[in-house]
């Protein structure tokens, strides 16, 4: 995501409100939708094995369709799922254009290519995007702690974490739990973290 594109206040509006605002001519709502779900669209295109150029085309086509079809989205509150499906469809069209030329995808490992990107995968990508959008708002201390605990290739020892974050070793466990609970609360309560 690109936080600079979207003031925090706009991020609080849920997708249904943003879609409605777009239809009322609010350009900032459109930017908020892109800022919130752009990474999802991009991830679907890349997950389908497209290189950056083709993924960029899919990205543009997806948002073009989204804009044209916005008034016909039946469940605007589930815009993420809808735009993810559009991205998947657009990605498949490009992939069909690749034809049999799998060798035309040198930069993407074959096992990373999933032409169909099933719904469950879409949900997983969407969830991943939501979780990390929420993580960015859960607080600097929590963000730093959870990243150290769960995102490092080799998890640092607690004494190292304590030194890096200026915490007592004994507070790492409880803080970690509180941070994850807060994160879950934001996801459960906000819908669009």
How far is it, in rounded angstroms, from Cα 103 to Cα 101?
5
Q: At closest approach, how far in Å is the CB of 127 from another protein? A: 5
Q: At closest approach, how far in Å is the CB of 128 from another protein? A: 5
121 CB-near residues (< 8 Å, 6+ apart): 47, 114
The nearer residue to another protein, 32 or 95, going by C-beta atoms, is 32
The nearer residue to another protein, 92 or 131, going by C-beta atoms, is 131
Look up residue 115 and give its DSSP letter: S
Q: At closest approach, how far in Å is the CB of 67 from another protein? A: 5
How far is it, in rounded angstroms, from Cα 66 to Cα 151?
33
Q: At closest approach, how far in Å is the CB of 7 from another protein? A: 14
Torsion angle, alpha carbons of 136, 153, 41, 47, to 10: -170
Q: At closest approach, how far in Å is the CB of 100 from another protein? A: 27
Contact (Cβ atoms closer than 8 angstroms) between residue 157 and residue 165: no
The nearer residue to another protein, 99 or 114, going by C-beta atoms, is 114
Torsion sign, CA atoms 19, 25, 26, 29: positive
In this structure, the chain runs to a length of 193
The nearer residue to another protein, 94 or 187, going by C-beta atoms, is 187
- The residue ranges that bind another protein (CB under 8 A) are 1-2, 5, 22, 25, 27, 30-31, 34-35, 38-43, 46, 52, 56, 59-60, 63-64, 67-68, 125, 127-129, 131-132, 135, 146, 150-151, 173-174, 176-177, 180-181, 183-185, 187
């Amino acid at each position: 995501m690109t936080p600079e594109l979207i003031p925090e206040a706009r991020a609080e509006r849920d997708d249904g409100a943003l879609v409605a605002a777009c239809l009322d001519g609010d350009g900032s709502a459109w930017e908020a939708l892109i800022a919130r779900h752009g990474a999802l669209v991009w991830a679907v295109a890349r997950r389908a094995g497209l290189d950056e150029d083709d993924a960029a085309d899919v990205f543009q086509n997806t948002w073009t369709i989204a804009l044209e079809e916005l008034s016909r989205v039946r469940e605007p509150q589930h815009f993420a799922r809808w735009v993810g499906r559009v991205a998947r469809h657009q990605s498949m069209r490009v992939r069909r254009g690749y034809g049999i030329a799998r060798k035309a995808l040198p930069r993407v490992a074959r096992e990373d290519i999933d032409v169909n990107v099933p719904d469950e995968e879409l949900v997983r990508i969407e969830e991943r995007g939501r979780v990390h959008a929420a993580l960015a708002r859960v607080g600097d201390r929590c963000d730093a702690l959870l990243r150290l605990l769960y995102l490092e290739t080799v998890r640092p020892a607690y004494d190292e974490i304590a030194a890096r974050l200026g915490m007592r070793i004994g507070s790492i466990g409880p803080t970690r739990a509180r941070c994850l609970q807060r994160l879950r609360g934001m996801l459960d309560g906000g819908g669009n973290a």
